[in-house]
Amino acid sequence: MLDFVKSVLRRNTNATIWSVQGFIAAMRSEEGMRQWSIVAAIATVVAVLVDLSGCRDRVLVEHCFDGAGEYRDRNGC
């Protein structure tokens, strides 16, 4: 049982390290990734600071984090 837990922790640690390395590589080499990250960060700050309803707050943030940038819910929230 202890070996199983160790192997799961090792796999998760390696996956986390590789994901962070991939994100760093993308930020260094992809201009679109840097632009998307800046816009998403700004939209998140605006959504938190501006007094919007929870629905509009969610739509603003989800719009930036959704790859297609489409609203899935046309009837409000």
Q: Looking at the domain assignment, is residue 72 inside a domain?
A: no
Q: Looking at the domain assignment, is residue 59 inside a domain?
A: yes
**How many residues in the chain?**
77
Q: Looking at the domain assignment, is residue 28 inside a domain?
A: yes
Q: How many domains does the chain have?
A: 1
The DSSP symbol for 1 reads -
More confident residue, 1 or 11: 11
Mean residue pLDDT of the chain comes to 79
Tell me which residue range forms the domain holding 30: 2-65
- Cα–Cα distance measured from residue 61 to residue 68, given in angstroms and rounded to the nearest whole number: 13
* pLDDT value for 75: 46
* pLDDT value for 57: 64
* pLDDT value for 6: 93
Radius of gyration in angstroms for the set of CA atoms belonging to the chain, rounded to a whole number? 18
* 64, 39 contact by CB (below 8 A): yes
What contacts 30, CB < 8 A, 6 or more positions away? none
* pLDDT value for 64: 61
pLDDT tens-digit series, residues 21-33: 999 999 999 999 8
* pLDDT value for 46: 81
pLDDT tens-digit series, residues 49-64: 876 666 666 666 666 6
